[in-house]
Structure 1
Amino acid sequence: MPSPTRQQLLLAALKLFAENGIHAVSLRSINQAAGARNSGAVHYHFDSKLGLLSALVDDLMQRIVQYRGDALERLSARHTPPTVEDCLDAFFRPLWLLHFDPEVGNVATKFFLQLHITPIPEIQRQMAERGQVSWQQVEALLLRALPHKRRAQLRLHIGMGWISVLNGLAALDLMAVTPLGDMRTGSLEEMMPAFMAYLVAGISA
């Protein structure tokens, strides 16, 4: 069972990294935000800032795996080609569910976005390795759904879709004040289908 202090440090670090950026956050500020009595708590549990970032990525990627379940495998087992919408829903829905996760909330997607803005080679490799299977699965599924699509173009669109989802989720609050008014619904059931339709149209082109 994970140590309560370790989990408090992870959650405190996640929020600070998401809101302030990776390099602007000190280990001391994480210890303070987590309410750790030992000033060396981060070093004790994670060895270093890089170790803490790695543990955060592992934790969040595991949540994504749990949310996705076997959705991609079930689509792969179909005798008929899946629809583009089915493929993208199975691949991207976990990011939406992570964004609305009661424990990590919207700071999880903001943290992932920060990692893209300020890339750290070791963490980039870790994320690529952890996501490789699901990315290969959705690529194979979309090639079945879109047999006319060139693989190189499809891969580019998958990557652009990933960045679009992260940006869209991280910036949902920006939709509160627009020339068309408050465009937030606050409902996963209403917002996700609209965004998925946007992605489907782009990848199907």
Structure 2
Amino acid sequence: MEGDCMGVVQEIGGSRLSLILAAERLFADFGLESVSLRQVHEAAGHRNASAVHYHFGSRDGLVEAVFEHRMSLINRRRLAIMERLEGEHRLTEARALVGAWVHPFAEELRPRAEGNYSLRFLERLLRDEPLFIQRNALQEPGALWVTGWKVADALEALLAYLPPKIARMRLRLLRLQIVSGLAAIEARGDREETDFHVEGLIDCLVGGLAAPVSHEAQRALRGRAE
């Protein structure tokens, strides 16, 4: 009896995972709004047309499950990096902090048997469902994006010499550029050049954060304040 129960549990877990992986790939390729639940069921090999509702409750529940499937591990990686940097007294190094934001995402570029779609899915999510990201970006214990914002807080402290609106704008752009840049690397599929592209991306991001504020940007900022 116990063996039968374990088999059922494994079957349910495998069914759930197959839906998550199928949805991730389809959302990454076609966008969240263009994919039907029927397509997800077919791609996952499910004959039961209500499998998504059974496992996730709704389409939004499926999207959140795909997000959690990847972000839970990404967040654990980032926390480990931040703990190491803190132990090494390196939380004031801009490149180390940007690396702490980028590298946990970049681990998703390692080849998988089911293919690599997680970064393109996250990019689609940022583009198609900004309210979803805002809801999950709250700086609360357990919030799904909280480890990214831990890095952002440390970077914001380093950018204290900039006008606050400039610093916050650069950090918002940083988050978008990290995901879109890594999604582009994922789409290229150039395994031999991955490390080079990732480190080059970090260099560009650090340079952008530390760039002098142009007269044009200052004038635009003053105009907005007026």
Q: TM-score range by the shorter chain?
A: 0.7 to 0.9
Say whether 1:34 aligns with 2:47. no
Gaps of 5+ in 2: 1-9, 212-226
Cα-Cα RMSD: 2.6
Say whether 1:24 aligns with 2:38. no
Shift of the 167–139 alpha-carbon distance from structure 1 to 2, 3 Å rule, reads closer
Deviant stretches of 4+, over 6 Å = 173-176
Q: What is the match of residue 137 of structure 2?
A: 128
Name the aligned partner's letter for residue 67 of structure 1.
R
Selected match of 1:93 from 73, 82, 103: 103
TM-score by length of 1: 0.82
Say whether 1:157 aligns with 2:165. no
Q: Give runs of aligned pairs for residues 73-88 of structure 1, distance below 5 A.
A: 73-77=83-87, 79=89, 82-88=92-98
Residues 24-71 of structure 1 show CA distances to partners (whole Å, capped at 9, x for unaligned) of: 111111111101132211111111111101111111211211332421
Name the aligned partner's letter for residue 202 of structure 1.
G
Say whether 1:115 aligns with 2:125. yes
Q: What is the match of residue 183 of structure 2?
A: 170
Q: Which one has the largest radius of gyration?
A: 2
SS in 1 for 2:192: coil
Kindly, what percent of the aligned residue pairs are identical? Answer: 28
TM-score by length of 2: 0.75
25-34 or 138-147, larger mean C-alpha shift: 138-147
Q: CA deviation at 1:81?
A: 5.3
Gaps of 5+ in 1: 177-183
Selected match of 2:193 from 178, 187, 200: 187
Selected match of 1:139 from 152, 158, 162: 152
In 2, Cα distance between equivalents of 1:150 and 1:93 = 28
Q: CA deviation at 1:186?
A: 3.3
Say whether 1:52 aligns with 2:62. yes
Residues 113-156 of structure 1 show CA distances to partners (whole Å, capped at 9, x for unaligned) of: 111222263x2344313355324422332244444234432222
